[in-house]
Amino acid sequence: MITATVAQRGKGVLREFNEAGVLAAADVHVALRLAHLGGEASEDVLLATALAVRAVRSGSVCLDLNRFRDVTVDDESEVDVDALPWPDVADVTAALRRSPLIIGGERGPLRPLRLVETDEGLLLYLDRYFLQEQMIRQVLDQRSASHPEVDVDALASQLTLRFGDASAPDRQRIAAALAATTWTTVIAGGPGTGKTHTVARILAILVAAQGKSLRIGLAAPTGKAAARLQESVSEQSAELSLPPDLSAMTLHRLLGWQPGSKSRFKYNAGNRLPYDVVVVDETSMVSLTMMSRLLEAVRPDTRVLLVGDPDQLTSVDAGAVLADLVARPVTGSLTPALTSLVGHDLDAADDPDEKALTAVERDRLRSGVVRLSRGRRFGGEIADLAVAVRDGDADAVLRLLGGASSNLSFHGPEDLVGVRKDVVDTAAVVTEAALQGRAVEALDGLERHRLLCAHRDGPYGVQRWARTAMEWVGEAQGTILDPARWYPGQPLLVTANDHETRIYNGDTGVIVQGEDERADDPAVPGPARLWAAFQRGSTPFLLHPSQLSAIQTVYAMTIHRSQGSQYNTVTVLLPAEASSLLTRELLYTAITRARKHVRVIGTEAAVRAGVERQVLRASGLRRTLRE
C-alpha cells in the first residue's frame, strides 16, 4: 500500500522514492525548488538533498552519507526499500562535491547545503542546522576555556552540609562540585536518580556563596515540565534557604519569545539573559534550534545546568542534543578546585554498584558531564529492565519479563484480563473520590495505573484503546460514559498550553463534584457543581470545566505524552514488530514511567524489535570535524 502523498512534479528517481514512501512530497518539492534556484540538474544531488530534508523532518540534524540507505518507511508500506534504485555513495559524494548548491563550491547563486568531513565520514547538512551546531560547539568550547573563581574551603563545607561527608563516592556531590566549579554542567540520569534534588542543593550552595541576590532562571522545554520543576524546587526552598518566589518557565518564555518579531527572541547574542545561573530541566526534549538559541543568549559568566535523561525520547524537532552533549568528544580540563573538592570520590575504584565513576565518566567530567545512577524512587526489577532496554539486551529484557518478579509481567496481545482489571479498579477509586468532592484523592487515584500506547491511531493506537478502556469502565459502573458530557471521575488530558489558566499541554486532571455549599450558591449555575481538578504541588487547582478549551478524556495516552509523569502501574501496549515507532527509547520511556509494576502486552517479536531498533538521529555534535 502506498501511503505517501506523491509530488506531482517529481520525476525519475525522486518520484520512485516518493511513491515508495521513503520521501514525502514536501521533501521532493524542497529539493526541486533548491535545484531550480541553484542551477543543479544532477539526479544524485537532488536525491541527496531530498534525503537531507527528510532526515531533518525525522529528527536528524544532517544526512550521514555513509548510512543514507538506512531509512524506515511507514510500517504499513509493503515496499522493499532495498530494491529501490539507490545510487552508489561514491557517485553521490562526487556529484555533491561538484554541485553549485554546496557552500564552499565555486559557483551557484544559492548554496543552502554544506558537506562536512568528520572522523566518521561525510555529513550533508542544510546549512542552517550546521550553523546551529557550530554555535553550540563554539559556545561550549569558549565556556569551558575558563572557570568560575570559587572559595574552595567554603564550598567544601557547603558540600558537606548538603550531601554529607565524603565517606563513599557520591555522584550527587560530584555533580554539585562540578556545577560550582564550571560554567556549563550536564547532569544526566534516569527517573528518580535525584536530579532535581541535586539541582535544588546546587542552587542552595550558589546562594550561600553569592547571597540572595543570585539571579536564578529556571526553565524547561514544556509548560508541564516547567510547572513540575517549580513545584519541586519550591517544596525544598524553605529547607534550603532558597528565595521563596522562584518560578520556572518554558524555554521560549525565558528567552522572551516575540511572535511576529524578526529577531524572534528578546534575549539573544546581542542582549544576553540577565541570570547568574540558568537551569534547564528535561533537556532531552530540547531541540537543536532551541539549544543554540539558549547558548547564544547566555552570558559567558552565567552558570548553565542542563539536566535530563539522555536515554528518553527526544524532541519531535531535529536533534538529540542532550544525548549528543553527553557523548561528544571530551574537551576542557579538570580544575584543581574540583579535584580538591571531590578527589576522594574520583579516586574510588570502579565498583558494581555504579557508585564510583568509570574511567570514561571521570574523563567526561572535563566536559562538565556527570551521570547520576542510583535510583531513589524505584529499584529492583523495574530498574534492571530499564537498564537492559537501554543497553539493547533483548535476551535480558525477555528473561526479566518472563521471570517470576511481582513488579513485571508480560502478556500476549489477547490477554487483557489484568489491564482491564487495573483500568476498572482505577476508575472506581477515582470516581468514588470524585463523587465525594475529594479532589486530592481523585488525582492521586489517577496515578494508580496508566495505559500507554506507541501510536495515536490504528489497531494499537490510543484512540482505539481509550475507547475500549472507557467501555470497560462504563460496563463495570453499569452506565454508558459519554466524553462529550462532564461526569465525576472523568480523567482529563490537556492538549495545549493555557498560561492564563495555568494549565499546560500534557497536564492531567479529573472532573470532581463540587462541595455542597457551592451547589447552593445561586451565583453558581447547575453544571458548575462539577469542577476540573489539576495537580499543583500538594494542593489541587480547581477550574470550571467551561474554562478548558483544549481537553481530551484520557483512558489511554501515548508514551510521548507520558514523559515526565509517573504511575504505580504502567501497561505498555506494544504495536506490531514492524512499527517504526517501536524503538528502544520508546520502550525505555514507557517502562520508566512505572513506580511499582510494568505490564507489557504484545509479542516476543515486538519486544525484541523494540529493544533492537534505535531512534536514528544523525548529528555532527558527537563527532570530530575535519578541517
Ligand X SMILES: Nc1ncnc2c1ncn2[C@@H]1O[C@H](COP(=O)(O)OP(=O)(O)OP(=O)(O)O)[C@@H](O)[C@H]1O
CA 445 to CA 442: how far, in whole Å?
5
3-state secondary structure of 204: helix
Least Å from the CB of residue 203 to ligand X: 13
Distance CA 548, CA 219 (A): 25
If binding means CB under 6 A, how many residues of this protein chain bind ligand X?
Answer: 11
Cα(119)–Cα(626) distance, rounded to whole angstroms? 7
Site for ligand X in 572-611 (CB under 6 A): none
Residue (191 or 602) nearer to ligand X, CB: 191
Integer distance in angstroms from the first to the last C-alpha of the chain?
45
Instruction: Identify residues 376-415 at the interface with ligand X (CB under 6 A).
Output: 376-377
User: Nearest approach, Cβ of 249 to ligand X (angstroms)?
Assistant: 17
In three state form, how does the secondary structure of 108-131 look?
A: CCCCCEEEEEECCEEEEEEHHHHH
Q: Which is nearer to ligand X, 377 or 411 (CB)?
A: 377
137 vs 377, beta carbon nearer ligand X: 377
Nearest distance in Å: CB 253, ligand X: 20
We find the least distance from the C-beta atom of residue 585 to ligand X, in angstroms, to be 15
Kindly tell me which of 225 and 621 has the beta carbon lying closer to ligand X.
Answer: 225
Q: Which of 49, 99, 172, 583 binds ligand X (CB under 6 A)?
A: 172
- Build a one-symbol-per-residue string for 103-142: x at contacts with ligand X by CB under 6 A, - elsewhere: ----------------------------------------
Nearer to ligand X, 225 or 298 (CB): 225
Point out the residue whose Cβ comes nearest to ligand X: 194
Answer yes or no: is 244 a known binding residue: no
446 and 432 Cβ atoms separated by less than 8 Å: no
> Which parts of 176-205 interact with ligand X (CB under 6 A)?
189, 191-197
347-376 binders of ligand X (CB under 6 A) = 376
Give strand pairing partners of 597: 569
* Closer residue to ligand X (CB): 33 or 376: 376
Considering beta carbons, is residue 372 or 548 the nearer one to ligand X? 372
Annotated binding residue 514? no
341 or 574, CB closer to ligand X? 341
DSSP for 255-314? TTB-TT-SS-BSSBTTB----SEEEESSGGG--HHHHHHHHHHS-TTSEEEEEE-TTS--
Please tell me whether 191 is known to bind a ligand.
Answer: yes
Type and span of the H or E element at 431: helix 417-435
Distance, in Å, from the CA atom of 229 to the CA atom of 279, rounded to the nearest integer, reads: 10
The nearest distance, CB 376 to ligand X, in angstroms, is 3
* Residue 431 in grid coordinates: 470516581
Query: 3-state SS string over 578-605?
Result: CCCCCCHHHHHHHHCCEEEEEEEECCHH
Query: CA gyration radius for the chain?
Result: 26
* Minimum CB–partner distance for residue 62 and ligand X (Å): 30
Binding mask 512-541 for ligand X (x = CB under 6 A): ------------------------------
| 196 marked ligand binding residue | yes
> Is 195 among the annotated ligand-binding positions?
yes
Q: State how far the Cα of 134 lies from the Cα of 330, in Å rounded to an integer.
A: 16
CA-nearest of 171, 234, 166 to 203 is 234
Q: Is 336 annotated as a binding residue?
A: no
Binding-site residues from annotation = 189-196
Binding-site residues from annotation for ATP = 189-196
Residues that bind ligand X (CB under 6 A): 172, 189, 191-197, 376-377
